Chain A
Amino acid sequence: MSFPDLTTDYLGLKLAHPFMPGASPLAEDLDSVRRLEDAGAAAIVLNSLFEERILQEQEATHRAMDLPAQSFAEALSYFPDPLGFELGAEHYLEQIRRIRAAVAVPVIASLNGTSEGEWLDVATSFEEAGATAIELNVYELSTRPNESASAIEDRLVDLVRHLRRLVDIPLAIKLSPFYTAPVHLARRLIEAGADGLVLFNRFYQPDIDPEALEVEPSLRLSDSSELLLRIRWLAVLSGQIEASFAVTGGVHSAVDAIKALMAGADAVQVVSLLLRHGPERLTQLRAEVATWLEEHEYGALSELKGSMNHSRCPDPGAFERANYLRILRGYRTQP
């Protein structure tokens, strides 16, 4: 074991250190996965298998291939139907298998969806294909006026309970920050069988093009400013809920990572940093954190983990509403 000791426990997995790629296209091809492993990733989180994407693609393909078929004498179809062509999860499972076979570190499969339909059964196949753990990404925006917060939360809890029944491997839930009572929800999710929480999902925010009068999806990579929201809730949750926590979104430097760990993260997921600088940047992040610990005379990461969480930090009010007043008071009008 190198000094300082960076080992961490995430979802019951013993990891050499907390740094890993978050769910993203980084794990889409084997080359990039090997580069991540070479860069020392503690685990590989796969790109997400999207419920909607599977369904949409099935629908679109059906329209494109089946609808024009069998209606014109000269062309009973317009597309080949090659061997291996399939629109379910088989390719994703194959990806799990191949990554599992290619790397020694844990492989965390990622599932993105909100409904409790049959498609969830695919989680069983994840386990069979060799996934070490599953990260369920709950990306849901309720736009229905008749749907209450409790109904949304109940559905989510049911979903987790259902998944828990399906698989034995560790289960992490990746949440958005937009819940009224996140701590209560977190507790329910853990009770329903989740082993950990990943904070937070980044929404792709739609933008408006005022010239074209169109709504456009926008995709921006994160920066360190987004970390603060995560730190607050990591600190609040990790102090009260017995579970694993991962931070995702906004870690761009060693200091960012240190802060997240101090707030209670067991694992640190990075995406934007690696998309910008390549998988190799992970090595640097890990080394810089190690150096920081050395410089600050920490012998092991565990000494620092959670040290600034809600229950241990010197001023818990700073994570709460009081924080608001303090900042307002300190604000001065610019001359």
Chain B
Amino acid sequence: MNPTGPVIDGDGTARRSTVDGNEAVASVAYRTNEVIAIYPITPASPMGELADAWSAAGRSNLWGDVPEVVEMQSEAGAAGVVHGALQGGSLATTFTASQGLLLMLPNMYKIAGELTPFVMHVAARTVATHALSIFADHSDVMAARATGFALLASGSVQEAHDFAVVAQAATLRSRVPVLHFFDGFRTSHEINTIEWNSDDVLSAMLDEKAIAEHRGRGLTPDAPVLRGTAQNPDTFFQAREACNPFYEACPGILQQSFDRFAQLTGRSYHLFDYFGHPEAERVVLLMGSGAETVHEVVEAMNESGKRVGVLRVRLFRPFAVADFVRALPPTVRRVAVLDRTKEPGAVGDPLYLEVVAALWESQGSEDRAHWTTLPEVVAGRYGLSSKELHPGSVRAVFAELAAEAARRHFTIGIVDDVGHGSLLIDETLAQIEPAGRTRAIFFGLGSDGTVSANKSTIKIIGERTGQAAQGYFVYDSKKAGSVTISHLRFGRGPIRSTYLIQRADFVACHQMQLLDRLEILELAAPGATVLLNAPYHPDEVWDRLPREVQQQILDKSLEIYSVDARALATEVGLGGRINTIMQSCFFALTDLLPREEALEAMREGIRDTYGKRGSALVERNFKAIELAVERLERVVVPEKVSSSRQRPPLVSPEAPEFVQRVTAVMLAGKGDRLPVSAFPVDGTWPTGTARWEKRAIAAAIPIWDSEVCIQCNQCVLACPHAAIRAKVYASEELASAPEGFVSTPYRAPDLRGRIYTLQVAPEDCTGCHLCVEVCPAKDRQNPRRKAINMEPAVEHRDRERIHFDFFLQLPELHQSELRRIDAKGSQFLQPLMEFSGACAGCGETPYIKLLTQLFGDRLLIANATGCSSIYGGNLPTTPYTTNLEGRGPAWSNSLFEDNAEFGLGLRLSTDSNQRMARRLLKQLAGSVGEELAAEILGADARDPSGVEAQRERVARLRQALDGVGGLDADRLRQLADDLVDRSVWLVGGDGWAYDIGFGGLDHVLSQRHNVNILVLDTQVYSNTGGQKSKATPLGAAAKFASAGKDIPRKDLGLEAMSYGHAYVAQIAFGAKMNHTVEVLREAEAFPGPSLVIAFSPCIAHGYDLSLGAVEQQRMVDSGLWPLFRFDPRRAEEGQPPFRLDCKPPSVGVGSIFDNETRFRIVERSDPDRFRELSARAQKDVERRFRVYQQRAGITTEEEPS
């Protein structure tokens, strides 16, 4: 995290800065507080990260002290810390969103009940309902509206920056705590040019007397008081009412703070800010970033004489009725209240209810005189989960207000063809952006640096030209090969357009293949400039474009420029990073800055960014700037479409109907157009859809050499995306094999005479290289070649696609056909998790994939929120799939914090179902056959063949039940499948298991229920960007531990073993594949709780993940990750229940510390500390190993005599 900070004027005062909303807020919160408690949650994490980075760098607050920043185990924990710090008399703050805010609610009631000055900053985000969403709406904030907090909404980066200090000033005086919120991503992640609030402004805003009073109320044994009493029916009610005067005074105090702020900065705000026609008849009323867009529309409509206006609600609670009424023009006839949240079953959403009640109440007060007739109020819901509120939507609202009979309730931005409550949008009315603005849109890949380049451009324009600059970035939900779309606006400020660009003057396509997948030129304005990164000579570019794209170019008279940025990047040593090249071309093609000045500014930026990372990168980027403009050429556009190639379909025509109708639309980036009726009503989605999304993102794919192959299947096990597979099958199957399909006799004692094929899925492979790295077979003549070798995808993809299709049709092997289910055998089983969006080289997915191979047809997965819930369950497609019989993992994600409890619930439910089924079977034994009933009830169905036999018996039971009448028979029919044991797995990361969900995990382990827990331990919060967890090892740098963690990782295994009755194991597939398979099977078979902690390489470790298996081996060899098993059943046999499954450390921790960026960061920041932490880590590893060795010798039961 690079704290940017403001541009400093010559006189030392800060003036303008180009920052995102999170930084704009954090910079104020940090400077005006003393204790900061944090926990990562999207999209608020960067605020905590910045605070932590500043604190670690020793930056001081307004009073010259460095705030104490502490990361807690959950938001509940952070709220507790804040509450305590406030009670101690400190100035404290926190940052959160969504589920995090919900976890803070109990403390918020307390903090407000105790009238505590406090501001928390919330990047408002959707609360998970039928699905999780990381995007923005006000459902989280509205869930806090009963806490007693003041709710203050800002709508832009500038406002967020300003309100952060206004809130702090007001709370100190009013004693009413403030929840300051702004829209997640739209404001938190939007970069915009703002006027910076200097330390002087902040100091002038804060009332030192009020701070002293707050401190004076802090708990101290020198003047002891008691807070947090328990009160009884005689007194609680009255005491609760005692706070009322403070709430009555609160709005006035806030307005005074606004006024003071206006004096200091010239920026004036009110509790309710009206903008528009002074005699408006139609007014839209809303909170947050949407108000900026409405403002823009109103401005345009006013210009054409329309009597419309917008009322921004700044302070939602306490709702100041009189201020509200007076803020509206008396001429208003109709008001549309727009809520960005949904409260099913309510008369209306919260802002609407508040407005209606306020208007009603105004009738009974002196404000009555404000109106001749009370305006009519209608309610609109918009923007759930960051759904766009664009000018067209706003126009539709004003149009509705002008209708003869406006709908009382409606939605905007979607097509609701079920409830018919959505407004129709006239797209032609959408173009209202002020003239003189440059709008540019860039399509790129996450890995090519497009977003970084655009952030740099925004800074250059925003800070050098006096123009305002705005940037907003859209990312897809994939972690490998993700597409990014950058929306940049430049012009005379302020830029209020809080919606995506709909018509761009400049369109850049940084990866030409995206033209085949996305409607890129749809967004180009007529005559727009288009910049392509094309791997062809400019003369060839036109011919390479699909027909549809050529047509668009001609229709819109677009000017096309191209540069072979990839080749140039390779030439200057930048690999796939084309950012500098494309940025240079952007400046060359636009007149935002004189070219040389722009390029010089780029050079400065590169020096800032890469300077401390070394001169080599700086030099290469300079070279790229120099050559980029030279290589840029205009593409000559002929008069007619000439290409015969059409865009390929996004999904195969063979895909199921739902995939064609719904998924394909989402894949095309047009999910916004899907109507309500397209969707399941309760969040239930079909599995098995990832196979229809063919992204073909790998530049090189593994190609099999059957001669060299030893048929060990290690590559298959290690593949994170199930993109390389092995099958053994009868030779007759080859009769219909496509030409060139490779096969070879299977060389193993079992399954004699069968044929073996190893096959790549060429469009699903991410090109991570892991398979080749784990391949142990080398060509003895040329050991550089292995049994699989990475080769250019373009040369092999078409042929391998046909081969893979044929391969999929080859029969699958059943577990019962295998003599041994070990690392090799398990890989002949069909993976029921495939082609996920996980990172290339992901270290987690191989474990889950293995689970689905071993137990997939009876697997129930409870998945904690995190990486595994994102690549496992983030739409548009789903990697979990089914076998030929239609069975496969059933998967659900409840929350981050409750996964152990949620999984236990699933277990209890399957147990209960099975108990009922068994009882019913006993009762109906006479009707279905005593023998069959006895067989089913007495079956040992724990191993694969037992499961198969039981399934067969259940099938017979169903037949026997045919024609049996009665309620019990009906019930048994429904529950019969539950007579086959389910395998319940609780899956999640270390953030869940070690931190936020530990209490529940611990509790579930303390019971006897048969749940299996798989912890995918990356030793860091991976999904939110590498924050420290209690699994982070001593010596590693992580966010919130940037100087290197100085406490060893929690030994979760040892803690779990302390119960004695739970199965516990630690595994690492890259170190010992057979051990991994054996442990998962033992854990599953263990009749009580089992905990498997699986080491998972992650991009947050910082090394080439193709070496993930090697690194796992090093983790084991160095003692940093001992492999062990604790099996209580062994104790019953008189054996030590604990077994070490690895040798004593044979290499030092240096073998890891010298190799991974997470440790190297510490060395390159503070070599002394690195040495000290390394030495301590070495000692700790040795100490722990001794403890394990001792334990391995301990027999807990008495020896049998």
Query: Residues of A at under 8 Å CB distance from B?
Result: 28-30, 54-55, 57-88, 91, 95, 118-119, 213-214
Contact = CB atoms under 8 A, between A and B. Distances in A.
Nearest to A91: B1167
Contact of B53 (A69, A82, A91): A82
Interface in B575-628: 577, 610, 612-617, 619
A61 B783 CA distance: 29
A69 B482 CA distance: 11
B1161 interface: yes
Contact of B1043 (A66, A72, A82): A82
6 A-B pairs with least C-beta separation: A71-B446, A75-B1025, A58-B614, A80-B1042, A64-B1102, A70-B451
Interface string B479-507: 10010100000000000000000000000
A84 B455 contact: no
B134 A87 contact: no
B1171 interface: yes
B829 interface: no
Interface in B167-196: 185, 189
A66 B449 contact: yes
Nearest to A71: B446
A78 B1100 contact: yes
Interface string B555-591: 0000000000000000000000100000000000000
B446 A29 contact: no
A75 B614 contact: no
A174 B455 CA distance: 47
10 contacts: A54-B614, A57-B614, A60-B1103, A61-B613, A64-B1103, A67-B447, A70-B473, A71-B447, A91-B1164, A118-B619
B833 interface: no
A83 B783 contact: no
Nearest to B49: A80
Given A70-B449, A78-B1025, A88 B1037 contact: no
Given A82-B1037, A84-B1166, A118-B619, A77 B1026 contact: yes
A78 B1039 CA distance: 8
Nearest to B59: A83
A52 to B, nearest CB: 11
A81 B2 contact: yes
B42 A73 contact: yes
B452 A70 contact: yes
Given A55-B616, A58-B613, A119-B615, A82 B57 contact: yes
A78 B1040 CA distance: 12
B783 A213 contact: yes
A242 B780 CA distance: 53
A61 B1037 CA distance: 14
Contacts of B185: 73
Contacts of A73: 42-43, 134, 185, 189, 475, 477
Interface string B146-161: 0000000000000000
A88 B615 contact: yes
A84 B1165 contact: yes
Given A76-B46, A81-B1042, A82-B56, A29 B1168 contact: yes
B614 A55 contact: yes
Given A66-B452, A73-B185, A87-B1164, A78 B1099 contact: yes
A66 B610 CA distance: 10
A84 B839 CA distance: 30
A69 B475 CA distance: 12
Given A55-B616, A72-B446, A118-B615, A82 B1165 contact: yes
Interface in B283-334: none
A69 B1025 CA distance: 9
Interface in B1020-1070: 1022-1026, 1037-1043
B467 interface: no
Contact of A79 (B477, B780, B1037): B1037
Contact of A80 (B43, B475, B1037): B1037
Given A64-B1157, A70-B446, A82-B1037, A77 B614 contact: no
Given A58-B613, A73-B475, A85 B1164 contact: yes
A298 to B, nearest CB: 42
Given A75-B1024, A80-B1042, A61 B479 contact: no
A75 B1026 contact: yes
Contacts of A82: 53, 56-57, 1037, 1042-1043, 1161, 1165
B1158 A83 contact: no
Residue from A59, A67, A74, A88 with most neighbouring chain B CB atoms (10 Å): A74
Interface in B1-44: 1-2, 42-43
B1104 interface: yes
Given A71-B451, A73-B185, A80 B613 contact: no
A143 to B, nearest CB: 16
A71 B482 contact: yes
A65 B839 CA distance: 14
Residue of B477, B610, B1103, B1165 with most partner-chain A CB within 10 A: B1165
Interface string B49-83: 10011001110000000000000000000000000
Contacts of B52: 80
Given A82-B1042, A84-B1166, A88-B614, A74 B1023 contact: yes
A33 to B, nearest CB: 12
Contacts of A77: 1, 1025-1026
A73 B617 CA distance: 26
Contacts of A69: 452
A194 B475 CA distance: 57
A27 to B, nearest CB: 12
B849 interface: no
A95 B1160 CA distance: 17
B53 A75 contact: no
B631 interface: no
Nearest to B454: A70
A89 B339 CA distance: 56
Nearest to B1162: A82
Interface string B1074-1089: 0000000000000000
Contact of A62 (B45, B455, B613, B1103): B613
A122 to B, nearest CB: 10
B384 interface: no
B778 interface: yes
Given A62-B617, A68-B839, A80-B1161, A74 B1025 contact: yes
Given A61-B613, A76-B1025, A118-B615, A86 B1102 contact: no
Contacts of B1166: 84
B1161 A79 contact: yes
Contacts of A60: 1103, 1157
Q: Which of B477, B619, B1100 has the most CB of A within 10 A?
A: B1100
A59 B615 CA distance: 11
A69 B1160 CA distance: 18
A235 to B, nearest CB: 39
B1165 A88 contact: no
Nearest to B46: A76
A72 B483 CA distance: 9
Contacts of B254: none
A150 B116 CA distance: 80
Contacts of B452: 66, 69-70
Nearest to B184: A73
A63 B1100 CA distance: 12
B1 A58 contact: no
A75 B1023 contact: yes
A67 B451 CA distance: 11
Interface string B450-477: 0110010000000000000000010101
Instruction: Pick from A65, A81, A95 the residue with the most CB of B within 10 Å.
Output: A81
B1164 A70 contact: no
Nearest to A88: B614
A76 B1040 CA distance: 15
A71 B46 contact: no
A54 to B, nearest CB: 7
